[in-house]
Amino acid sequence: MGAVTIDVAVDTPDQPRVWMVAPDADLPDGLSWSALTGAGFTGAAGTVHVVAAETPLVLAGTGATPTLDDWRDAAGLGSRAASPHTDLAVRLPDDVTADVVRAVVEGTLLARYRYDALRAQAQGHRITRLTVVTGAAHDETAAAAGLGVASAGATALARDLANSPHNHLTAARFARIAVDLGAEVGLEVEVWEQQRCRDERLGGLLAINAGSDEEARFVRLRYVPSGAPTGRLALVGKGIMYDSGGIGLKPNNDSHAQMKNDMSGAAAVLAAMLALPATGGTAEVVGYLMCTDNMPSATAAALGDVARGRSGRTIEIVNTDAEGRVVMSDAFTLAVEDGVDAIVDIATLTGSVARAFGSLLSGITGSDDELVATLTAAANASGERVAPVPLEHRYRPQLSSPVADLRNLGPAGQPDGIISALFLHEFTEGLPWAHLDIAGTAWSTVDAGWQTPGCTGVGARTLLVAAGGFTA
Ligand code: BES
Ligand code: ZN
Ligand code: MN
């Protein structure tokens, strides 16, 4: 996100200001509701009013009984209306809660995000200084604002990584970024290069990498809290740097168009874990990033090939485009070997879930109701909504193969959002597990509120909340 200076104050008259206002709320000096309603602004959610003044002043309507999502959206709208100012004060009511402070800071910062890494001239006007103005308790407000900066920063990093084109972000470079950024905040980072992946029998990862000129990378990140850990959680991220479909090439340009972001799961895991030290996560968290592209060539995995993964089980690759579950299965086995208490994975896994739930809802499922509920609550608190996918075990026979222990895809017409999850479930060895399928939500065409077009960075905030407070 770049550095953001956060202040908390009771009043800052000399900064450009965004006032978050419900209908009939207190107004800045010189304004009245009768004049504003006359001008068409009532404080309704989704509306803003720009007051012409020497120091820019924006009123952002929250509606009468705003939800957390309403607060974040309103903050995003207000922040946009105050652009290009990068030094802002946001005025909140005195009875504001910590969750609202956090959501408003997130919305304010994320609304200004642009992917500018490859432009000569930046288009985004990222906030550099933000003053939260409220009469609410100073220390609580400052702490909540700090969380907001950390979580918005995590999302912005995940967006940057996912937006990076394939020719700018190879698996090897992704691993180097993890090493460099991890060192800055004190995470342990371990990278397995190609030969080590072979030595360690990561047969799923290597089968998908077989067609590529770029080497695969396995990255393991570890966050250790300062006190006794409240639990040990594994976060597994799908890191397909580009998904061409493999030798069974995707059929048209439209189906290729977003596939640079097929590493959005790995980006979310990395971004969330980098924020754990600053936000004081209480659990030990181990991240597993499975990085490779999925390319067609004479050396690529062919249809019907059988790979043997780290678990020792064999996988018949009946479709080279169902690659995510194959690379992730090795990570599940590593997590089990590491003795974690639970596994959470995140992946742009299936068109099935994207078609079922669209761009506003990720699919969530898993083997443990409590863990799924924890993830769901974290997602809702983060504005990253989820919808349940049933883990219907009666579909399990669809994964049986005539030649191997498993096949990587059910027969045509079967519900792949469910079947892909059943495939991953095979590798959990009974550990509590929750699964986020973000195929539909990792990309946005919306350019409004705190959402920006292109890669969304979805999952980074959810994982930060859920992993930081994980309790075994
Ligand atoms: N990465 C894709 C899933 C995806 C689809 C993500 C659309 C974002 C948008 C995954 O690897 C994939 O290719 N899935 C295919 C599998 C199928 C051909 C067996 C799918 O779901 O269409
Ligand atoms: Zn994919
Ligand atoms: Mn694919």
pLDDT per position as a tens digit, 243-260: 999 999 999 999 999 999
Q: Count CB neighbours of 180 within 10 A.
A: 10
Residue 50 has pLDDT above 80, yes or no: yes
245 φ/ψ sector (left φ>0, alpha ψ -120 to 50, else beta): left
Q: What is the pLDDT of residue 444?
A: 96
350 lines ligand 1 (CB under 6 A): yes
The rounded Å distance from CA 259 to ligand 2 centre is 7
Residue 356 has pLDDT above 90, yes or no: yes
**Among 263, 348, 352, which is best to mutate for testing ligand 1, by the most ligand atoms less than 8 A from CB?**
348
**Contacts of 120 by beta carbon, 8 Å cutoff, 6+ apart:** none
**21, β-bridge pairs:** 61
- The closest-lying atom of ligand 1 relative to the alpha carbon of residue 348 is 6
Model pLDDT for residues 391-434, shown as the tens digit of each residue:
999 999 999 999 999 999 999 999 999 999 999 999 999 999 99
Please give the Cα distance from 171 to 289 (Å, whole number): 10
Confidence at 55, pLDDT banded by 50, 70, 90: confident
439 lines ligand 1 (CB under 6 A): yes
Main-chain phi, psi angles of 91, to 5 degrees: -95, 125
Q: How many CA atoms lie within 13 A of 46 on its CB side?
A: 1
- From residue 176, alpha-carbon distances to 11, 57, 156, 186 in Å are 44, 43, 18, 15
The rounded Å distance from CA 351 to ligand 2 centre is 9
Residue 13 has pLDDT above 70, yes or no: no
Pairing mode of beta strands 362-366, 433-437: antiparallel
User: What does the longest C-alpha to C-alpha distance in the chain come to?
Assistant: 78
Cβ proximity of 395 and 419 under 8 Å? yes
Structure tokens at 400: 């049986």
323 lines ligand 1 (CB under 6 A): yes
- The closest-lying atom of ligand 1 relative to the alpha carbon of residue 262 is 1
Cβ proximity of 463 and 344 under 8 Å? yes
- The closest-lying atom of ligand 1 relative to the alpha carbon of residue 416 is 21
Report the percent of the chain where pLDDT is more than 70: 99
**Contacts of 137 by beta carbon, 8 Å cutoff, 6+ apart:** none
**Chain centre distance of CA 382:** 10
Strands in 331-412 per DSSP E: 342-347, 362-366, 386-388, 406-407
Q: What is the pLDDT of residue 425?
A: 98
Confidence at 352, pLDDT banded by 50, 70, 90: very high
Cβ proximity of 121 and 50 under 8 Å? no
**222, β-bridge pairs:** 188, 286
The rounded Å distance from CA 11 to ligand 3 centre is 52
Cβ proximity of 189 and 272 under 8 Å? no
Structure tokens at 351: 């068109």
Q: What is the pLDDT of residue 130?
A: 96
Three-class secondary structure of residue 166 per DSSP? coil
Strands in 169-283 per DSSP E: 188-192, 217-223, 232-243
**Contacts of 84 by beta carbon, 8 Å cutoff, 6+ apart:** 125
Please give the Cα distance from 217 to 125 (Å, whole number): 34
Please give the Cα distance from 346 to 91 (Å, whole number): 36
**Among 241, 321, 389, which is best to mutate for testing ligand 1, by the most ligand atoms less than 8 A from CB?**
321
Protein residue whose Cα sits closest to atom 18 of ligand 1? 321
- From residue 24, alpha-carbon distances to 95, 96, 231, 306, 307 in Å are 15, 16, 46, 67, 65
Please give the Cα distance from 237 to 117 (Å, whole number): 23
- The closest-lying atom of ligand 1 relative to the alpha carbon of residue 319 is 19
Cβ proximity of 323 and 413 under 8 Å? no
* 382, containing H or E segment: helix 369-382
The rounded Å distance from CA 400 to ligand 2 centre is 21
Main-chain phi, psi angles of 32, to 5 degrees: -135, 150
Confidence at 465, pLDDT banded by 50, 70, 90: very high
**Mean pLDDT score of the chain:** 96
* 67, containing H or E segment: none
Q: What is the pLDDT of residue 56?
A: 85
322 lines ligand 1 (CB under 6 A): yes
Cβ proximity of 385 and 361 under 8 Å? yes
Residue 1 has pLDDT above 70, yes or no: no
Structure tokens at 82: 């105050």
Q: What is the pLDDT of residue 308?
A: 98
Q: What is the pLDDT of residue 328?
A: 98
Please give the Cα distance from 375 to 377 (Å, whole number): 5
214 lines ligand 1 (CB under 6 A): no
Nearest ligand for residue 240 CA: 2
Model pLDDT for residues 130-188, shown as the tens digit of each residue:
999 999 999 999 999 999 999 999 999 999 999 999 999 999 999 999 999 999 999 99
- Mean pLDDT over 46-50 rounds to 95
Please give the Cα distance from 60 to 43 (Å, whole number): 7
Q: What is the pLDDT of residue 16?
A: 85
Q: What is the pLDDT of residue 53?
A: 66
The rounded Å distance from CA 219 to ligand 2 centre is 18
56 φ/ψ sector (left φ>0, alpha ψ -120 to 50, else beta): beta
Protein residue whose Cα sits closest to atom 3 of ligand 1? 350
- Closest residue by Cα to residue 217 from 177, 262, 261, 172: 172
320 lines ligand 1 (CB under 6 A): no
The DSSP 8-state label assigned to residue 262 in this structure reads T
Residue 2 has pLDDT above 70, yes or no: no
Q: What are the residue numbers of the active site?
A: 250, 325
Pairing mode of beta strands 433-437, 57-61: unpaired
The rounded Å distance from CA 395 to ligand 3 centre is 21
Cβ proximity of 309 and 217 under 8 Å? no
Residue 12 has pLDDT above 80, yes or no: no
Please give the Cα distance from 132 to 307 (Å, whole number): 54
